[in-house]
Amino acid sequence: MFNTIKLLAIILASLLLTANACSSSKNKSSATPQTQTTQQTATTTQLASLEKAYFAAGCFWCVEAIFESVEGVEEAISGYTGGSIKNPTYKQVASGQTRHAEAVEVYFNPEVVSYQTLLDVFFGSHNPTSVDRQGPDVGPQYRSGIYYANESQKTIVESYLQKLKSEGRYKAPIATEIAPLTIFYTAEKYHQNYERLNPNNPYVQNVSIPRLKSFQAKFPE
């Protein structure tokens, strides 16, 4: 049911965006590599001084909002990674056939929040044992994934996973995909800051906001 509601909301947003694009080229919504464009309010210069991390944990509307609530995270951008075609559209990714994951590019200040703390956020805000599913969202595009940007991040992730396994925190095997980042494509403009800009959307009210509040209650610090 939620997938149907979400799809209808996306179609409506897409139609509105297309109508606006007729009068201004600034409203085009094609997905492009993050190395080529930034669709957020933060400037390229501001973001350039920060470190980046990449996570997939279900619907990127939810994941973006969770990471942006963390002190030290200056920006989180919704997009796609880990797939088989270049410049994917949301429609293509949503089909599950491109093998892209809905992901977020997290810009963070390491002097305020560490990469390991971001891993705490990642594992504490979704079910990493769920295969190709988070809540009502089903398909490989909603898989759990960590895409490390450098060898330092890889080492931290591997150590973190060993700790989780030794602690026996999860009864089921961790299904999180661990892979090097290849390329990240920024999602269409209407996906950015979706939860904040669309608080009355049924999916946001019934899935995104409860998920954010659950995370905040679990990690008030």
Provide the annotated active-site residues: 59
Tokens of 218: 């679990």
How far is residue 123's CA from residue 138's CA, in Å, rounded to a whole number? 19
Contact (Cβ atoms closer than 8 angstroms) between residue 140 and residue 216? no
Contact (Cβ atoms closer than 8 angstroms) between residue 78 and residue 102? yes
Bridge partners for 133 per DSSP: 138
Tokens of 78: 């919704």
How many Cα atoms are found within 13 Å in the side-chain-facing hemisphere of 67? 32
Contact (Cβ atoms closer than 8 angstroms) between residue 41 and residue 73? no
